[in-house]
Amino acid sequence: MNKKQKKVLTRIIIAAVLMIAFSFLTVEDYTAFVLFLIPYLVIGYDILIKAGKGIKNHQVFDENFLMAVATVGAIALGDYREGVAVMLFYQIGELFQSYAVGKSRRNISDLMDIRPDYANIERDGEIEEVDPDEVEIGSIIVVKPGEKVPIDGVIIEGTTTLNTSALTGESVPRDASEGDEVISGCINMTGVLRIKTTKEFGESTVSKILDMVENASSRKSRSENFISKFAKYYTPAVCYGALALAVLPPIVRMLFMGFSPEWGDWIMRALTFLVISCPCALVISIPLSFFAGIGGASNAGVLVKGSNYLETLAGTKYVVFDKTGTMTQGVFEVTGVHHNTLPMNEILEYAALAESFSSHPISRSLQKAYGKAIDQSRVTDVQEVSGKGVIAKVDGRTVAAGNAKLMELEGIPYQECHSVGTVVHMAVDGEYVGHILIADLLKPHAEEAIRALKVAGIKKTVMLTGDAKRVADKVAANLGIDEVHSELLPGDKVAMVEKLLSQKNEKEKLAFVGDGINDAPVLSRADIGIAMGAMGSDAAIEAADIVLMDDDPLKIAKAIRIARKCMRIVYENIYFAIGVKVICLILGALGIANMWVAIFADVGVMVIAVLNAIRTLYVKNL
């Protein structure tokens, strides 16, 4: 709870204690007015100020004005406790809403750790650390192992392996050497690079991603608060209605009917009319319905950042997915050994030992599949062939482990692999002994998640990924995803989501599900952004509106069902509260409804609506 929320909570407690204490006192009416004015101002001064500013700015009819008129009307009737209680309940509802939303979102760009802090520029044979903004096009920069590439450019010296997953979502780090283009934001994993810059920092890939996040956030659609929309029509109607009720009938009676105007009676009817119109049932039960929905979703492992996102999620008809880390585990594992002439365990042993000096993810997956302690003393004459693989002596035998290019370099015939994944071909003493398939496995519930979404009424599922087309098509086919687009950069993903948004109608909402830093811009641009919370990046989690705490995509369908139940209850409360109030307002205007009816229309309807709202917490049968 932030400072502002704690301050409101303190005011609520003070006002409640004072109201209860003063209720037990027997004092004169004027004294009671002064006493109850204290808790009223403690809890409601900010609402009165906002209402005053609204009047000053010619934006009179909002929920603040409605609350001010309703509570002042109750106090004018002499029911001081009612006036304080109405304002008290309103502030409690606002606190629920504020607490559910959580702390204000910080600037996403502050969390984007892909932004390099410095660049190593080469000047007169010396390396100087400077701000990336100071580097001009055509400058020579040096990137050491473990550092981020600060600016787009071309490698003029050095070979390395680049981790580009933060930018493209590409599942396997790629090799780069002299003449290759590199983009800013990716991480240099192995060798030292000398790069000639081709762009200024402001135009480089990493800067564009940051700009896209900020611009996408500013364009993001938001559901307008219901109370504000309702008050736009409700507040002026009841206020003008009360005024007309107090003035017109007495004038008609006096001028046209020759009767006594009975001003007191009609003013009392007008004040009763105002008390009946008090919006407690709406201003409390509706935020509470959303709050309960958020609580129910949290119990199911789904973190919803605000009530407006529940409303948007309920209207979702299109779900777009990232691949790596979202529908797949993002962890590389050996999934098979094919065309082998040696036992599988023996091939894995040779591969693990030959690759034991490398920190490459593929090497780690081979060592994991081997499953035994690595004795590096058995390995000699290690030769890493850049972009191709490793040649080493294991127990005195020459082992070659790498891609097809390595086999071609060594003149060793090899077997093609028809499965999707990374293939490590193996040769021992110049003889081909088979190949090892390494793949990013699907999440356990990924296929079930797609089926559940279709059962929930989702019209189309789409997958966007930076991975290779062959891999993406295979994953989409296995999962039953309707449409797939591969080999995309973050900007391409945003453009694709923009296209999908333009194709649907306004009432239908589009959700994007992702986990990486590269997904932050598109998470912000979609109608609703859903991030993986366990393994997802901080930037993706901050950019998203909803976070799956256990990374289980099956929870998406459940979250949609929770949101839809929440919205059903919200509309039930809206129709019930407005319906009862309209009936009571008519009865009040006719003089049939007295103050007890007014209190029922206010407090009674509020209690019933709140009890209905609490049902949103129960989602076990969804």
Please report the DSSP string for 157-172 in residue order.
Answer: E--EEEE-HHHH--SS
Q: Number of helices (H) and strands (E), helices first, in the chain?
A: 22, 22
DSSP for 341-381?
SS-HHHHHHHHHHHTTT---HHHHHHHHHH-S---GGGEEE
- Identity at 205, one-letter amino acid code: T
- Cα(436)–Cα(415) distance, integer angstroms: 11
- Cα(365)–Cα(331) distance, integer angstroms: 9
pLDDT confidence of residue 238 = 75
- Asked if residues 331 and 351 have their Cβ atoms less than 8 Å apart, the reply is no
CA geometry: angle at 357 spanning 352 and 361, to 5°? 65
Is 110 a residue of the active site? no
List the strands of the sheet with 174-176, edge to edge.
174-176, 160-163, 187-188
pLDDT tens sequence across 111-147: 345 567 788 998 877 888 898 888 889 999 999 988 8
For 552-600, the three-class secondary structure string (H helix, E strand, C coil) is CCHHHHHHHHHHHHHHHHHHHHHHHHHHHHHHHHHHHHCCCCCHHHHHH
The torsion angles phi and psi of 381, rounded to 5 degrees, stand at 50, 50
How big is the chain by its Cα radius of gyration, in Å?
33
Give the chain's length: 622
Q: Is 208 helix (H, G, I), strand (E, B) or coil?
A: helix
Contacts of 17 (CB under 8 A, 6+ apart): none
Which secondary-structure segment (H or E) carries 391? Answer: strand 389-394
- Identity at 37, one-letter amino acid code: L
- Cα(453)–Cα(317) distance, integer angstroms: 9
- Cα(140)–Cα(293) distance, integer angstroms: 55
- Asked if residues 548 and 302 have their Cβ atoms less than 8 Å apart, the reply is yes
Distances (CA, A) of 35 to 30, 45, 71: 9, 15, 16
Burial class (CB in 10 A: 0-12, 13-18, 19+), 478: middle
DSSP for 454-474?
HHTT--EEEEE-SS-HHHHHH
pLDDT confidence of residue 171 = 54
- Asked if residues 171 and 327 have their Cβ atoms less than 8 Å apart, the reply is no
Q: Are strands 160-163 and 187-188 parallel, antiparallel or unpaired?
A: antiparallel
- Identity at 425, one-letter amino acid code: H
pLDDT confidence of residue 427 = 95
Distances (CA, A) of 567 to 89, 193, 324, 512: 22, 55, 32, 21
pTM of the model: 0.59
Q: HSE-up of 4 (CA within 13 Å, CB side)? A: 11
- Asked if residues 197 and 138 have their Cβ atoms less than 8 Å apart, the reply is yes
Tokens of 246: 């107090």
- Smallest CA-to-CA distance from 535 within 565, 508, 520, 514 is with 514
Which secondary-structure segment (H or E) carries 441? Answer: strand 431-442
- Asked if residues 67 and 89 have their Cβ atoms less than 8 Å apart, the reply is no
Distances (CA, A) of 139 to 121, 193, 261, 439, 502: 7, 13, 90, 39, 41
- Cα(343)–Cα(433) distance, integer angstroms: 9
pLDDT confidence of residue 284 = 65
Tokens of 157: 């010296």
The torsion angles phi and psi of 84, rounded to 5 degrees, stand at -70, -45
> What residue spans of 57-175 are helical by DSSP H?
63-76, 80-101, 108-111, 165-168
Contacts of 407 (CB under 8 A, 6+ apart): 400, 413, 414, 425, 427, 432
Q: Which of 124, 152, 180, 322 is catalytic?
A: 322
- Asked if residues 111 and 542 have their Cβ atoms less than 8 Å apart, the reply is yes
- Cα(456)–Cα(454) distance, integer angstroms: 5
pLDDT confidence of residue 512 = 92
Residue 118: CB atoms within 10 Å: 15
Which portions of the chain are predicted below pLDDT 50?
A: 100-112, 169, 212-224, 621-622
Residue 371: CB atoms within 10 Å: 10
